[in-house]
Amino acid sequence: MGLIATIGKKEKKEIPSLAELIAKGNHKTMRNVLITGGAGFIGSHVVRLFCRNYPDYQIYNLDKLTYAGNLENLADVAADCPNYHFIKGDICDLEHMRRIFADHRIDGVIHLAAESHVDRSIRDPFAFAQTNVLGTLSLLQAAREAWAEDMNGKLFYHVSTDEVYGSLHDPGTFFVETTAYDPQSPYSASKASSDHFVRAFGNTYGLPIVVSNCSNNYGPNQFPEKLIPLFINNIRHGKPLPVYGTGENVRDWLYVIDHARAIDTIFHRGRVGETYNIGGFNEWRNIDLIRVMIRTADRLLGNPEGHSEGLITYVQDRAGHDKRYAIDSTKLHEELGWEPSLQFEEGIEKTIRWYLDNQQWLDHITSGAYERYYAEMYGDK
């Protein structure tokens, strides 16, 4: 059954899922899909999956190419996939968003573009409000205007985070889709606000929307300010491994390609207006995760067992550091049949191997060479 959504103040309309529209024969398969933040970590895996799995789609990767956006992540796609198109742009630029929707007849959006690093949000909360809130609002407005005459078969898919739910303290409890929002950092507050705007556009204007909230991702191409790639690189070079507090904070980890698979599933089969949590039931204390990485990296590097244990360095805890995140993705599994494909031990070994085998990629990131290259290629526009 479709969701009962409020259109305007009084009229109620049943909005079916995308799959139901296709089954009824009154929906043309989406052809022009805009993926925002597609040069980033998660976005690049989503772009690759869509370009390769749906060759009849035209995939438009919109990215501002800030420090976290790197087109090297998609070099294979750019070379092999004629349905891939890159657009440099800022989601906060409403006029540019309007032109993109008009020029490319966009009928599906997967919105991943966001500032996402908690430490950066503590230093500069305004940048997070600008991109994550006003940027999302700009995209929503452009979609609403472009689809005003016919929203049939359109979809605005907003990708969010489990951090909007706050922090769990009781063992055995999990975030579910109805968990009350309780953001604890400027980053999570900005994402919570953007989630509210997306749902408000669905309720107020009848915009076909869907939202997902995912746990921590890991895997290839993650920017090395994040814990796993940072520590792999530091282990390789014998640098300190800075651990916040005592390392007792707990996170639920998901291999990034499994997240991309979940996004694909929700985009094509999710019910319009719904929220889906994505997680792997895979909780680790930070300190335990770090020790697994040390053992695995040392083995792959040919180091003696325990060689890098001495690199662990405990540092002052992060302000407002959430104690525990844990996602219950039962709804996604029971309704749409998605489940993770990798166990963590297998996924972390694949991830460490990738970073060790792609040192040039890491060197380009840590040196800033890629940013200088894009500045010369695209300028400041």
Catalytic residue among 72, 162, 195, 252: 162
Contacts of residue 86, Cβ cutoff 8 Å, sequence gap at least 6: 38, 39, 60, 61, 63, 71, 74, 78
67 is catalytic: no
Q: For tokens 């303290």, what's the residue?
A: 169
Provide the strand spans (E) within the chain.
Answer: 3-6, 12-15, 32-36, 58-63, 84-88, 108-111, 155-161, 209-214, 216-218, 241-244, 250-255, 275-278, 283-285, 312-315
List the 250-255 sheet strands across, edge first. Answer: 216-218, 250-255, 283-285
DSSP bridge partners of 251: 284
Active site residue 371: no
Rounded to 10 degrees, the C-alpha dihedral 319/320/326/329 comes to -110
Report how far residue 361's alpha carbon sits from residue 223's, in angstroms, rounded to the nearest whole number. Answer: 10
Catalytic residue of the set 60, 157, 165, 187? 187
CA distances from 130 to 109, 191, 216 (A): 20, 11, 23
Q: H or E element: which one contains 260?
A: helix 256-269
For 197-229, give one letter per residue: b (16+ CB within 10 A) or e: bbbebbeebbbbbbbbbbbbbbbbbbbbebbbb
The catalytically annotated residue of 63, 72, 115, 163 is: 163
- Contacts by 303-311 with C-beta closer than 8 Å and gap 24+? 308/235, 308/238, 308/241, 311/234, 311/235, 311/238, 311/239, 311/240, 311/241
Phi-psi region of 340 (alpha: psi -120 to 50; beta: other; left: phi over 0): beta
Q: Is 162 a catalytic residue?
A: yes
Residues acting as catalytic residues: 162-163, 187
